[in-house]
Structure 1
Amino acid sequence: MPTPPPGPWPYLLDEARAYPSPHNSQPIVVRVLDAGRAELLYDLERGLPAENFGIPFGQVCAGVYVESLATVAAPHGWSVTAELRDEGLDFDADAHHQPLGTVELTRTAITPQAQADLAAFRRRRTSRRPYRSLPVDPAVLAEAGAIAAAAGHDFGHTDRRELVDRIVRINQETLFDDLRNDAVHAEILAWLRTSDRAAEATRDGLSARTLLLPGPLLGFAMRHRGMWDLPLAGPLLRRIYLNTMRGVRELGWLTGPFASPLDHVEAGRVFLRIWLAFTRAGVYLHPFGTVITNPRSHAAFTDAAGIDAQGADTEADGEADGERMAWMLFRYGHSAEPPRALRRELSEMLLDRDGVTPWDR
């Protein structure tokens, strides 16, 4: 049996692996250096290179992971300092794992806020269930706006029925558009888990259970993408897919610096803080990631929401500085408790100094 990592790493990393990631791909791996330091790396085989923003959102995912680690460490009396590289991911690199930077633990006081954040992190999950037509408390939206503003980002939101319906339709059409892209279609298929057995075997990916769709139908429809355009089958499939979008009353988006790798990392940290603020208030989120990564859909969304091409809210400040972008879109609201997506074991997320998991030796 391999020796476990030193210091507090075993229980911190074990809890942090519940972090959310695109397609539940779980690409972040860790090499523990000593009791207080660890190196973060990105597993290139778990990235999404076919997506238009595959590289930036790989780094957003790194930011989400760092914030997740900081969230689980604080109630145990540890603060996390991250020194990440300001370099983009290279999906064509020969190396399997690409270094992201290091994190360091230092002692800190335990606060009630830290304990509340950990409780929210443990409850947090994506809800694709139908949402109830119940408005979210404006105080929750104000807190989200304050969190975004503290990091130089803007939190936009709407409950205007016409605009909500228009953006939901854009999200719907994005799936059909992406299925026509051979590379993106192949990538989606690689991450689909159409049965509980398949999901349990890999403990990653997009399971039919969390997507709230019948596994056999999901697998058949995704493999035979031409069906979505057929006169009879197409409308039926679209109706089944849209059934989970019932009750969407409000949408939110984030606009801010999104020009450099460190911008992307900070965006990920901001997003998780906002997600936890919603979770503390009993509000669920469902990111519409493909609307951002699909250029046609992103343009349609920003046009509908009154956001200019670079991302600055035209109603808020009139013009963009060329480095800001609307980089996140999500629905939020109240729903029944959704199923929890599975996570890989911690042993699969650790590397030794030779670049392999100690359990593989």
Structure 2
Amino acid sequence: MEKLSRRNFIKNTSAGLLSVAILNPIGKLFASNKKEIIPTWNELIDFARWCPTVHNLQPHLVKIVSETEAELYYDPSRLLPVGDSQSIFATVAMGIFVENLTIASGIYNKKIVIHEIQKPINANATTITLFAKLKIEKCDVIEKLSRDLILKRKTSRLHYDGNPISNNTLHKLKSQTEEFDHEFFSTSDLNFIKSIIEMNQQTLFEDLESELIRDELDKLFRYNKEEAETKKDGLWAKCMGFSGSLMKSVFTNHEKWTKGIRKSLLSHNYKNSFKGTSTVCWFGGDFENTDHWLRAGRMFARNWLLLTQENAYLQPFGSLITNENAYKQINEKFTQPTNNKKIWMIFRAGYSNEPSRSFRLSTDEIIIK
């Protein structure tokens, strides 16, 4: 019995070793192929081009250098010399774009790393300018966000349904924010939210008093579908929730809307567009230089997709940050971040019908040949 058992053991062991010897090279081959798959820049850009940018201007351009290297440029004609003179939020948008590239590459266990930043974005530049160098690298962390969320994400300026963002979702946002050393705040106090909406409306009228701001915005608005579809950028009236003719009149015949019943109607319509808002959120973080702005953008990109994952939408209150008087007021009213960090983004979040999608530049238009 003992000899028979030993003989069977040797026989079985030999067979097992033979199987390993035969199959292991194949296993290694498949494992090797999986590790070596590198996404194309075209594929990644085809996703990332749907990311949000300031006023949907899409200043990013990419020059492919090699399979794993690329250069990130900006088009100064797609910047805001008046509304964003230091290109702070254009830089935040660059961070959002790069983080969307990373999320799109996650299924390959890859990430996009900024290796070199040339100079801060200059709103007064006259030619397409190199901003940073990018590289596809291996990522040791499993990507938790599906890249399909990039295609699903939209800004909603519609009426929200009155339901606040759930505590579970707020907790996810807070945790994600802290991973980037930022702080997250939110409120569902309806009286406080009402005061924010009123402040936002007042800020709009104050901004529209500036001829320079009006002229800059007028060039960005797409008052009809044909114009929006042709230019594939800017603020399409349909996505803004107002008729194109009304918006065009406000910008080209501004004096008619500065007093009397027209001003009251415009004010009422604008405030009414925020109906159903039950959650307002804001971020605080280091916000002094290009590195800070890029990091803020990367964080915002992920939080926006987290909301999308929960079938929720957001709408930034950009003017509350960029308008000097409004920013002074929010620093008096809002809970402040610690350690001299700054509030740099305020937005409403909630649930609405599916909003319209803005047009985007094609992948070929973003890639520099």
Q: Provide the TM-score with structure 1 as the length reference.
A: 0.88
Query: Structure 1 CA distance, aligned partners of 2:97 and 2:184?
Result: 21
Mean Cα deviation higher: 139-148 or 238-247? 238-247
Given the superposition, is the C-alpha separation of residues 101 and 173 from structure 1 closer, same or farther in structure 2, using an over 3 Å criterion? same
CA contact (8 A) 2:86 2:123 kept: no
Aligned counterpart in structure 2 of residue 330 of structure 1, from 325, 344, 347: 347
Q: Which residue of 2 aligns with 1:256?
A: 285
CA shift at 1:87, angstroms? 3.5
CA contact (8 A) 1:52 1:295 kept: no
Q: Which residue of 1 aligns with 2:6?
A: none
CA contact (8 A) 2:39 2:108 kept: no
Q: Which residue of 2 aligns with 1:104?
A: 135
- TM-align CA RMSD: 1.8
CA shift at 1:77, angstroms? 3.9
Q: Which residue of 1 aligns with 2:329?
A: 300
CA shift at 1:158, angstroms? 0.6
Q: Which residue of 1 aligns with 2:98?
A: 66
CA contact (8 A) 1:78 1:105 kept: yes
Aligned counterpart in structure 1 of residue 179 of structure 2, from 129, 150, 170: 150
Query: Structure 1 CA distance, aligned partners of 2:228 and 2:366?
Result: 17
The amino acid that maps onto 1:66 is V
CA shift at 1:50, angstroms? 0.4
CA shift at 1:76, angstroms? 3.7
CA shift at 1:98, angstroms? 2.2
Query: Structure 2 CA distance, aligned partners of 1:214 and 1:138?
Result: 36
CA shift at 1:345, angstroms? 1.5
Report the secondary structure of 1:117's partner residue.
Answer: coil
Mean Cα deviation higher: 25-34 or 176-185? 176-185
Query: Structure 1 CA distance, aligned partners of 2:325 and 2:331?
Result: 10
Matches within 5 A, 1:173-252: 173-252=202-281
Q: Which residue of 1 aligns with 2:200?
A: 171
String of CA shifts for 1:164-221, please: whole Å, max 9, x gaps: 1111111111211111112211111010000011101101100011011111111112
CA contact (8 A) 2:85 2:123 kept: no
Q: Which residue of 2 aligns with 1:350?
A: 367
The amino acid that maps onto 2:356 is P
CA contact (8 A) 1:130 1:244 kept: yes
1:140 aligns with 2:157: no
Query: Structure 2 CA distance, aligned partners of 1:252 and 1:110?
Result: 28
Query: Structure 1 CA distance, aligned partners of 2:357 and 2:217?
Result: 20
Query: Structure 1 CA distance, aligned partners of 2:358 and 2:218?
Result: 17
Q: Which residue of 1 aligns with 2:315?
A: 286
Query: Structure 1 CA distance, aligned partners of 2:193 and 2:141?
Result: 41
* Number of residue equivalences: 332
CA shift at 1:243, angstroms? 2.4
Report the secondary structure of 2:89's partner residue.
Answer: helix
Aligned counterpart in structure 1 of residue 147 of structure 2, from 94, 118, 121: 118
The amino acid that maps onto 2:62 is V
1:23 aligns with 2:55: yes
Query: Structure 2 CA distance, aligned partners of 1:52 and 1:33?
Result: 30
Report the secondary structure of 1:252's partner residue.
Answer: strand
Residue identity over aligned pairs, in percent, reads 27
The amino acid that maps onto 2:203 is T
Mean Cα deviation higher: 219-228 or 157-166? 219-228
Query: Structure 2 CA distance, aligned partners of 1:302 and 1:119?
Result: 37
Q: Which residue of 2 aligns with 1:93?
A: 125
Aligned counterpart in structure 1 of residue 107 of structure 2, from 75, 78, 85: 75
String of CA shifts for 1:77-116, please: whole Å, max 9, x gaps: 432122242742222334x1222211111345795x44x4
Q: Provide the TM-score with structure 2 as the length reference.
A: 0.86
Query: Structure 2 CA distance, aligned partners of 1:272 and 1:205?
Result: 19
Q: Which residue of 2 aligns with 1:355?
A: none
Which sections of structure 1, spanning at least 5 residues, go unmatched? 1-5, 353-361
Moved over 3 A (4+): 107-111
CA shift at 1:302, angstroms? 2.1
Which sections of structure 2, spanning at least 5 residues, go unmatched? 1-37
Q: Which residue of 2 aligns with 1:357?
A: none
Greater C-alpha radius of gyration:
2
Query: Structure 2 CA distance, aligned partners of 1:7 and 1:280?
Result: 24
